[in-house]
Amino acid sequence: MRAGMPDGKPKRLLILGGLAIAVLAAIPLLRRLSPEDNRVRWSNMVWVPAQVNGRTEPHAALMVETELEGLRMRGLMQLDLGIDPTVVYGAVRAAGDSVTINGTIANRHFQNERFYFRPSAGAPAPATKPPLLGSIGAGFFEHRILILDFVKQRLAILGKGAVLAPALDRGIEYLPLRFQNGHVLVAAAIDGREVPNALFDTGSSMIPFFASRGRWSEWTHRQTGDSANSTIRLQSWGKEAVVVGAPVGTLCVGSACLSHPEIYCQSSRLPNLDFDKAPQLSGAFGNAIFLGRYTVIVDIPGRRFGLIHGSFDASGE
């Protein structure tokens, strides 16, 4: 679990590659963009497992293969829409410094992208090589479409300014998407009640939904000290974080639903994980609701969030 909160507002939430919140300045909008191309080039999802409460969580962190040409670095980066900037860990630069470089992420070549440097403390580390280079934030996709095929465990990134080909855009269930302060916000539903402004966080796989303590108690009808709660102890930037879970009836994002999932909040009261201090966000949902069943299309330029029940057919047939 990773976090940062100099202003008292949640900026980072990661549970072993899990929940993340960033309140950072959005990248200035580019007024004119020339499409790179709209071809779907698949790249494998690389999952990093973790030990949680004595059991192995196989989908703790979602990584993608990356080559950063200007930094002469090749390895994995965490795909983390829970943060805005794209960051590089452990580089010999001061935290907060940035550099404009070229490279390739998930078979998509890019040019002149701004990457920021930050310490690697608290970042999920693969047990084997290749090394973990950093995290790809939502800002990288402000002018690109991201396709996440959780059925065939692959992903694709369309070129900057490109749109999904009409032949591929059929049969997709689209939900409205808001992109605000680097947050990808989509409406969810818990027990049939709409939960607006829920953050989609690809950094999270093991927890279906994370909420403030107040909302969590309202939805689960429990208190954080209830002995019936599930408890997970994790590290957040060198400090122990305790999160508690309890079941609800249903959790849905569009037609993608889970029955009787456990939703979570923190009971450790670390300020950097405190959703109660971010009332504009109703919570965060991650990959768990889609794993093995859905393809997700994150179309920030088009302000829409797409769902396909099954795998994505890149042939358009």
Please say whether the beta carbons of 137 and 81 come within 8 A.
Answer: yes
Please say whether the beta carbons of 222 and 236 come within 8 A.
Answer: no
> What pLDDT was estimated at residue 124?
55
Q: Which stretches in the chain have pLDDT values below 70?
A: 1-35, 91-92, 94-95, 120-128, 234-239, 269-274, 316-317
d(CA 313, CA 231): 40
d(CA 43, CA 16): 22
Q: Is 13 exposed, middle or buried (0-12, 13-18, 19+ CB in 10 A)?
A: buried
> What pLDDT was estimated at residue 92?
58
Q: Domain boundaries in the chain?
A: 183-285
> What pLDDT was estimated at residue 273?
62
> What pLDDT was estimated at residue 86?
94
The full DSSP string for 217-247 is HHHH---TT-TTSEEEEEEETTEEEEEEEEE
Cis amide prior to 130 (ω within 30 degrees)? yes
Q: Nearest CA to 247 among 268, 230, 234?
A: 230
Please say whether the beta carbons of 264 and 210 come within 8 A.
Answer: yes
d(CA 151, CA 294): 6
CATH second-level architecture of 183-285?
Answer: Beta Barrel (2.40)
> What pLDDT was estimated at residue 28?
33
> What pLDDT was estimated at residue 9?
37
> What pLDDT was estimated at residue 238?
53
> What pLDDT was estimated at residue 44?
97
Residue 30 DSSP SS3: coil
> What pLDDT was estimated at residue 296?
98
Bridge partners (DSSP) listed for residue 113: 101
